[in-house]
Amino acid sequence: MSTYPTNLAKPKQIRTALGFYRVMAIIAGIALLVLVTEMVMKYALDQTNFLTENWSYIHGFIYMVFAASVANLGVKLAWDFKRIVLNLLAGFVPIVPWIAEHRNTQEVNAILQRAYAA
């Protein structure tokens, strides 16, 4: 008898969603660090350049794609609403997207190991 939960998507779909999520978590984490740097440059150092004038829009777009990747992975793994929201909130604190990505990847890989073992 298989130990793979029946309420989850197929392993290949989960693996694809996980790959996209991992890429977006790394990019969102970098974009967030750049945003913090941009805010320091703009408000503390009173500098004006391309980064200070345009990065918040770029970061917003990157975060929206990150949010879509979290939602995609969450739906495929049947996460509850609280877990999806907590993963979305991870994108608001520098370095936390990378920590969340690492933990989620370990958990998903364990689920997929059970699926492939069955």
CB 97 within 8 A of CB 66: yes
Tokens of 66: 């990150």
| Whether residue 1 has pLDDT greater than 80 | no
Would you list the domain boundaries of the chain? Answer: 11-117
Instruction: List Cα–Cα distances, 61 to 34, 45, 77, 102, in angstroms.
Output: 14, 25, 25, 23
Residue 73, CA atoms < 13 Å, CB-side half-sphere: 28
Spell out the residues 6+ positions from residue 99 whose beta carbon is closer than 8 angstroms to its own: 90
Q: What is the mean pLDDT of residues 26-49?
A: 92
Calculate ∠ Cα 18-79-13, nearest 5°. 35
Q: What is the mean pLDDT of residues 106-117?
A: 88
pLDDT in the model for residue 3: 58
Average pLDDT, the chain: 90
